Amino acid sequence: MIKYAALAFFISFILCTIFIISSKKIHGLITDHLHIGPQTFHYKPTLRIGGLAIFIGISVSLLAAYLRPEYFSSNYLYLILFSLPVFLVGFIDDLTGKLDPKVRMFFICLSASLVYFFLNIKIVRVDLPVADKLLQITAISFFFTVFALTGISNAINIIDGFNGLASMVSMMILMGIAYVAYKLGDYEITNLCVVSTFALLGFFLLNYPYGLIFLGDGGAYFTGFIIGMMSILIVYKHHQVSPWFALTINIYPVYETIFSIYRRKFLRKRPAMKPDALHLHTIFYNIFIKKFFPLNDKELRNPLASVFLWVINSFGVIPALLFWNNTTALMICCSIFVVFYTIIYWNILRLKILF
């Protein structure tokens, strides 16, 4: 397992380094001008193809395990192939900035459909009596699974606002899933989570703190899709794992997405998919970081904001690891997080109005 993780790390790190060096000579690799928006918080033109290095690092490592062959790697080839549409649709948008959101959703749903039918990555229980009966109906299970995988893929993309934010949050979640999978003796899930974490680490070391390379939509969608698959699969394969473990360990990006849709659609009467600068990480940056850290080097403000959100994310990951097989406790933890997040958000926003 360690050798595949090391391979993923070195491929990701070396490719990211090559991309950074190449971008100084091949200016077409930098597509910042196609992605200017309210969530832009960097000051130097930066390439957005870190996801390509992560995808290649993970794919080569999983393929090596598949070809060896390792006893736990029988599904790895299909996993790579079925994840390809998710990565490509985001990567193409990184390079062109022209893909319609509906097109992106279609291809993410396509990948989700493939893993549902061919890899048995499906949601069949949520530990709620009526819902569990409904989820025994294939059509309902299918649509709920596709919805969940599409949602978490977009959730990681939504929180990808500052250097190291999405990648560290993703690594925390993946290692949390790996920990539980290892306790259960599931080396298929453990290896995939550890390999993905180390591929992200190779990127992270060049992304944080100075943002030499960005994850991009391709990297964010692909990482979110991996997280979604592993979250669903560990619950499907191991009945002792509470389905609320999958929600609790992902509660920060999931609730950030749900809250953002509610805020845009119902409070501001705007399209739910239209980006804005009112995410928790952006208002925290604008209120606290700019006010209390008036650094001469503006580039250092960006990574400071990420640390705050890593702590927020730990409020979901740590309870998930402590109570991974206790549905009642996890339900309570999710409820506490939702209340905690909402209170923090509105209080920070109130400070913004006062200042």
What does the DSSP 8-state code read for residue 136? T
Whole-prediction pTM:
0.93
CB 29 within 8 A of CB 23: yes
Of residues 239 and 263, more confidently modeled: 239
Identify which of 125, 149, 159 has the alpha carbon closest to the alpha carbon of residue 227.
149
Tokens representing 323 are 């109570």
What is the pLDDT at residue 73?
93
Our measurement of the distance from residue 11's CA atom to the centroid of its chain's CA atoms, rounded to an integer in Å, reads 20
Residue-wise pLDDT tens digits, 148-188: 999 999 999 999 888 999 999 999 999 999 999 999 999 99
CB 35 within 8 A of CB 48: yes
CB 141 within 8 A of CB 122: yes
Residue-wise pLDDT tens digits, 8-37: 999 999 999 999 999 877 766 666 655 555
Q: Is residue 296 exposed (0-12), middle (13-18) or buried (19+ Cβ within 10 Å)? A: exposed
**157-176 as b/e, with b when 16 or more CB fall inside 10 Å?**
bbbbbbbbbbbbbbbbbbeb
Number of domains in the chain: 1
Q: Is residue 79 scored above 70 in pLDDT?
A: yes
Q: Domain limits at 31?
A: 2-354
What are the angstrom distances between the C-alpha of 64 and each of 7, 50, 78, 146?
9, 21, 13, 29
**pLDDT band at 354; cut points 50, 70, 90:** very low
